[in-house]
Amino acid sequence: MGKEEVVEMVQELAESGQALPGCYILPEKQRPDRASPSALDIPVIDLSLLLRETGCEDDQAKRLQYAVQSWGLFQVIGYDLSPSFLDEVRDVVRKFFQLPMDVKQKSSNLKGEKLEPEGYGNYGVARKDQIIDWNDRLYLSVQPEEKRRLDLWPENPCSFREILHEYTIQTRKVAELVLLALAKLLKLEKNYFVNQLGDTAEVRARFNYYPRCSRPDLVLGINPHSDGSLITILLPDKEVEGLQVLRDGDWFKVPIIPHALLINLGNQIQIMSNGIFKSPVHRVTANSEKDRISVAMFYSLEPEKTLEAAEGVVDETRPCLYKKMRVKDFLNIFFEKYTQGVSTIEWARI
Ligand code: OGA
Ligand code: NI
């Protein structure tokens, strides 16, 4: 990657009312359609029913099977996180982004001239012709706990740290329930994915803030990508839509279900399932009237582990589809390709 150039925060740009700088404007072919896309009929899965094993879980298991093989995306309910706690999380995130810039900059990802992966900011511009996302973010390691950079964790709002800690613990339970169900679908030992994550899994939280945009027809909140994680848990904005998913060349919008969490399969589980599970390409559109927030929790295997298909999903009829590599190497390539808008999962194919 070449020398990175730091760009202004999108929030400042949006508030200044100045004309849209060229680095945000997409080439015509990549601009979002003006016509509203169809809503995706995305399955909602009740985890409490799915894992009960009383015989009544079949219907939920069928929905899950359909979801992972078609969309790679589904919503879950039936976990211990209360709707009021999810609202508290959204609230504290909004409050953080509404703070004055100099307060937020205490968590800045900029150290001198250098952009750090963690902290508050936006991506540096690696190439001159790179189109930047209409989005500011706060990106923080949450697990393992000893890897937390507490110097970057906001102290303001004062409940931020406590809420993020609690949210980390609660969503980890949801991730593990989902992973149990996914291993069962593949007829693997049910703890297969949970054990792959283990105590050393790297979990990162990304708080996204998409300011209102005067020209949502020219920009994207996040350009098309699939996640490099094993899975991602997304807490979407409660009112403002924007997330879209690509299927057979068309974009579909993901509807909001206020108290559900969205599960997005990542590249790592696509490789480990030998392509049976699909990691969907998705993007976020901007909105001319309202700003939008979201929280993504990315679950990733420990960097020194090997990323490869599970033994039970490779045979003569289904040979191994992806190169075997260290998680660390995969992620390095992932971030490099991400800034180029190139898919790592395609690159990883044998
Ligand atoms: C992401 C992402 C979607 C959203 O952070 O990787 O895809 O709705 N976010 O904010
Ligand atoms: Ni994503």
Listed residue (345, 229, 219) closest to 283, CA to CA: 219
Please state the atom number of ligand 1 nearest to the C-alpha of residue 206: 5
Q: Please report where in the chains the tokens 């205490």 appear, as a residue.
A: 106
Amino acid at 301: L
Nearest CA to ligand 1 atom 6: 227
Encoding tokens for residue 246? 């690509």
Which of 10, 89, 243, when mutated, tests ligand 1's pocket best, judged by the most ligand atoms within 8 Å of its CB? 243
Listed residue (89, 76, 83, 43) closest to 231, CA to CA: 76
Instruction: Quickly state the pLDDT bin for 37 (edges 50, 70, 90).
Output: confident
Average pLDDT over residues 318-326: 94
Question: Exposure of 84 by Cβ count < 10 A (0-12 exposed, 13-18 middle, 19+ buried)?
Answer: exposed
- Ligand 1 within 6 A of CB of 138: no
The DSSP call for residue 86 is H
The predicted pLDDT at position 139 comes to 96
Q: Is 244 helix (H, G, I), strand (E, B) or coil?
A: strand
The Cα-based distances of 321 to 92, 97, 128, 129, 308 in angstroms read 42, 42, 34, 33, 10
Convert the pLDDT of each residue in 202-238 to its tens digit.
999 999 999 999 999 999 999 999 999 999 999 999 9
Which of 232, 235, 262, when mutated, tests ligand 1's pocket best, judged by the most ligand atoms within 8 Å of its CB? 232
Query: Is the model's pLDDT at 336 over the cut of 90?
Result: no
CB 261, CB 75: distance < 8 Å: yes
Q: How far does the centroid of ligand 2 lie from the alpha carbon of residue 56, in Å?
A: 32
Residue 321: count other Cβ atoms within 10 Å of its Cβ. Answer: 18
Structural domains in the chain plus CATH codes: 26-99+133-347 (2.60.120.330)
